[in-house]
Amino acid sequence: MLILLGRRHAFNMRKVLWLLDEPGLKNAQEDWRRGHRSTDDPQFLALDPLGTAPVLLDGDAVIRETQVILRCLASRQSAWALYPQGLVARGGVEAWTDWVAYNMTLPMRGAYLGLAPWNRASFVQIGRAEYGKRMGILDAALAEAPYLGEDHFTLADIPAGFIVHRWLSMASVERAEMP
């Protein structure tokens, strides 16, 4: 039985939950972080010394880091349409998946999380400007093809879907027209 540790509504948890739902994988989920059990708990730190969530337990295997969990789950299920076996195709999917994780995180923190916990309007303003610029990159890529990395829905489209959702859910943000 797969067991997913982390807060159900957290950004990275939702990516993993989406992927688990794609093939209908049965799993258990335990709430950890913000308002739930602390990831500083020795029991959690024994699984992930960084104290981050999500963490996936697959039998005796402990898999941490969202992007790694996504790749492992797709490979575990031989979901090659989502995560191609060919290196070039896989590289295209991984590039977009990692782009969301590494290039969108900082601007998203400022833009989406607002003033808390940094409490600096300049951080919000810079975050929103960078978020908008990077959403333009995503929009240009999606203007060429309806999906990222391949000509069909892949692993790359899951994290991208969440940054688009966050972008569209932010109130009082000026947005360029992006179909």
- Domain presence at residue 17: yes
Give alpha helix (H) positions in 58-174: 66-76, 87-103, 105-113, 121-144, 157-169
- Domain presence at residue 58: yes
Average pLDDT over residues 149-160: 94
Residues 51 and 93 in one domain: no
User: 9-33 in b/e burial notation, b at 16+ Cβ within 10 A?
Assistant: ebbbbbbbbebbebeeeebebbbbb
- Domain presence at residue 177: no
Residues 72 and 110 in one domain: no
Strands 61-64 and 55-58: antiparallel
Residues 29 and 67 in one domain: yes
Question: How far is CA 73 from each of CA 42, 156, 162, rounded to the nearest angstrom?
Answer: 26, 14, 18
The predicted pLDDT at position 50 comes to: 96
In whole angstroms, give the CA distance from residue 106 to residue 151. 29
Domain CATH for 55: 3.40.30.10
The predicted pLDDT at position 155 comes to: 95
- Domain presence at residue 179: no
In whole angstroms, give the CA distance from residue 24 to residue 139. 30
Residues 69 and 11 in one domain: yes
Residues 93 and 60 in one domain: no
24 vs 161, higher pLDDT: 161
Closest C-alpha to 126, from 110, 112, 141, 145: 110
Residues 159 and 91 in one domain: yes
- Domain presence at residue 175: no
Q: Which two tokens stand for residue 18?
A: 């989406």
Q: Which two tokens stand for residue 39?
A: 């990831």
Structural contact between residues 18 and 11, judged by C-beta atoms closer than 8 angstroms:
no
Residues 8 and 62 in one domain: yes
Residues 11 and 52 in one domain: yes
pLDDT in tens, 72-83: 999 999 999 999
Residues 106 and 144 in one domain: yes
pLDDT in tens, 86-134: 999 999 999 999 999 999 988 888 787 765 565 678 888 888 899 999 9
Q: Is the pLDDT of residue 46 over 90?
A: yes
- Domain presence at residue 174: no
* Number of structural domains found in the chain: 2
Q: Is the pLDDT of residue 7 over 90?
A: yes
Residues 32 and 71 in one domain: yes
Residues 122 and 156 in one domain: yes
Among the candidates 52, 76, 100, a domain finishes at 76
The predicted pLDDT at position 116 comes to: 59
Print the domain residue range for 71: 2-76
